Amino acid sequence: MKKLITLLFIMCTLFIKAQKPKTNITYSKNVVSKVTSLKYSTSLIKELETINWKDVKGVFESNNPKEKIELRFELDLLESKNKFKSSVAIGGETKELDSLIIRAKKLIKSIIKISENY
């Protein structure tokens, strides 16, 4: 019985010492993120027609104005007889985002116009 109590006491002591003390976790409030690329891929023409451009602009809000960004739009018509695929990529700096969106709209319209034949 004496050995059992001694063994129990030693085991309890080891388990108590083996536990790590509670550590404090700190979070930084000044976390900065940047988005350098946005890819929009679809298999339906109607989805390209309904892109919300305010959301596209909102994605790049927190970027530095001199940051290089890229907008990429892809269309893959799986059900077409010729398996039509098309993609465009537009790049520039964040400060030029409005002009990039205007160019993207024109290019998407041309993709839609070409893909309607397929």
Residue-wise pLDDT for 34-58, tens only, equals: 888 999 998 888 888 899 999 989 8
The total domain count for the chain is: 1
Tell me, yes or no, whether 27 lies in a domain.
no
Q: Which of 6-10, 21-25, 37-41, 92-96 bottoms out in mean pLDDT, i.e. has the lowest?
A: 21-25
Question: Measuring CA to CA, which residue among 73, 82, 60 is closest to residue 107?
Answer: 73
Of the pLDDT bands very low, low, confident and very high (cuts 50, 70, 90), residue 1 is: confident
Residues 85 and 49: their CA atoms lie apart, in Å, by 16
> Does residue 36 contact residue 70 with C-beta atoms inside 8 Å?
yes
Tell me, yes or no, whether 67 lies in a domain.
yes
Tell me, yes or no, whether 99 lies in a domain.
yes
pTM of the predicted structure, to 2 decimals:
0.67
- Expressed as residue numbers, the domain containing 75 is 37-115
Tell me, yes or no, whether 18 lies in a domain.
no
The pLDDT of residue 3 is 78
DSSP state of 74: E
Q: What are phi and psi of 90, to 5 degrees?
A: -130, 130
- In the chain, what is the greatest distance between 2 CA atoms, to the nearest angstrom? 92
Tell me, yes or no, whether 19 lies in a domain.
no
Tell me, yes or no, whether 16 lies in a domain.
no
Tell me, yes or no, whether 23 lies in a domain.
no
The pLDDT of residue 41 is 92
Tell me, yes or no, whether 54 lies in a domain.
yes
